[in-house]
Homo-oligomer: A and B are copies of this chain.
């Protein structure tokens, strides 16, 4: 077996490179996975831009699937050679946050998000899976890697958005932005029984996918006030729920204003780029007494979560693969990353495959 591997690494703020590193050796609770497919995430773009404090030399990536290469001594029920996926969030499952049902906040705020943020990421030829007993998920035979890889972050995050929106059957749900996470939130809203889905988006390729995934109405923010357009579509009532899937102050504020009394704003957008506080307009906030709720969340991890998402793909209830607008070999990852950073060429998600 090889001792070294190629990794896609942040070498400084604003700089990435393919870097050669030793293949890591799994501890008793880890698994070592040989990567077969991965997706590039906008979060990594933010990280490289300096929005998330990460030490130089850290491998990037948190959306990878592959084949088990080695298993720690305490990991049972798996064997070398199985096709597996691991979520971007890899909780310890034992701390008080995990025991209490907040495994994404493992050991504290956002603590379940370990790849890149706390340890090397998995945009590399090999990667470790911490807490493998709970975090390693077998990929069903029927499911190709290029579909399974969407469960690692995109689908789980989008579904978190829909779950936290507390959608009731027949609700009107607005989703702000239809990038890959927003598109997955649209799928999620449909999966929870939304009666009418209103998507805010202006890019034609994304609008087309939004409709495919369940959006009934599209609002173009360039055509005037988004809130007014939503109120007009809903007879002045506003929506029952809104999902913020962009991470901008403007969309957050519009989302709050777009929901009716008793409605829920579910935030999954990352608000780490703009250091200013978000604002709650008093009327939009119902003066603090309007039975409005604001929920926030991070991608949910663990093998059970992954298997639920795989099940939806196996039965054909969802298909994320049309979001793959570009495909690259791992050797081209730098180029792919550049496209993602600049949102060029109608890109939604670039798939990276490994030899």
CB distance from A142 to the nearest CB of B (A): 12
In A275-326, the 8 Å CB interface with B consists of 275-282, 285-298, 302-305, 307-309, 311-312, 314-315, 317
Given A169-B188, A170-B312, is A277 in contact with B279 using a C-beta cutoff of 8 Å? yes
Given A163-B169, A297-B291, is A98 in contact with B102 using a C-beta cutoff of 8 Å? no
CB distance from A279 to the nearest CB of B (A): 4
Q: How far is the CA of A193 from the CA of B317 in the complex (A)?
A: 9
A216 contacts B315, CB within 8 Å?
yes
Partner of A290, one of B109, B275, B278: B109
Partner of A293, one of B168, B295, B317: B295
Q: How far is the CA of A280 from the CA of B190 in the complex (A)?
A: 30
B28 contacts A74, CB within 8 Å?
yes
A307 contacts B96, CB within 8 Å?
yes
Chain B residues near A285: list those with CB within 8 A: 271, 277-278, 296
Chain B residues near A272: list those with CB within 8 A: 282, 287
In A153-172, the 8 Å CB interface with B consists of 159, 162-163, 168-172
Given A293-B294, A296-B285, A296-B289, is A317 in contact with B195 using a C-beta cutoff of 8 Å? yes
Given A296-B288, A296-B292, is A278 in contact with B268 using a C-beta cutoff of 8 Å? no
A261 contacts B109, CB within 8 Å?
yes
Chain B residues near A271: list those with CB within 8 A: 282, 285, 287-288
A288 contacts B269, CB within 8 Å?
yes
Q: How many residues on chain A are close to B (CB under 8 Å)? A: 88
A304 contacts B159, CB within 8 Å?
no
Partner of A96, one of B163, B270, B304: B304
A35: interface (CB < 8 Å)? no
A288 contacts B267, CB within 8 Å?
yes
Partner of A304, one of B99, B278, B290, B309: B99
A225: interface (CB < 8 Å)? no
A286 contacts B172, CB within 8 Å?
no
A44: interface (CB < 8 Å)? no
Chain B residues near A191: list those with CB within 8 A: 169, 192-193
Q: How far is the CA of A262 from the CA of B100 in the complex (A)?
A: 9
B282 contacts A279, CB within 8 Å?
no
Chain B residues near A171: list those with CB within 8 A: 308
B303 contacts A99, CB within 8 Å?
yes
Which residues of chain A have a CB within 8 Å of any CB of chain B? 28-29, 74, 93-105, 108-111, 131, 133-134, 159, 162-163, 168-172, 188, 190-193, 195-197, 214, 216, 244, 247, 252, 260-262, 267-272, 274-282, 285-298, 302-305, 307-309, 311-312, 314-315, 317
Closest 5 CB pairs of A and B: A170-B308, A195-B311, A105-B261, A191-B193, A102-B262
Q: What are 22 A-B contacts defined by CB distance under 8 Å?
A: A99-B103, A99-B305, A100-B304, A101-B101, A102-B291, A105-B261, A109-B260, A171-B308, A191-B192, A191-B193, A192-B192, A193-B193, A195-B309, A195-B312, A244-B288, A270-B289, A275-B282, A277-B279, A277-B280, A279-B279, A289-B297, A293-B295
Known: A98-B134, A192-B192. 15 other contacts (CB 8 A): A99-B305, A101-B101, A102-B262, A111-B261, A168-B308, A169-B188, A195-B311, A195-B317, A270-B288, A271-B287, A272-B282, A277-B280, A289-B297, A290-B298, A293-B295
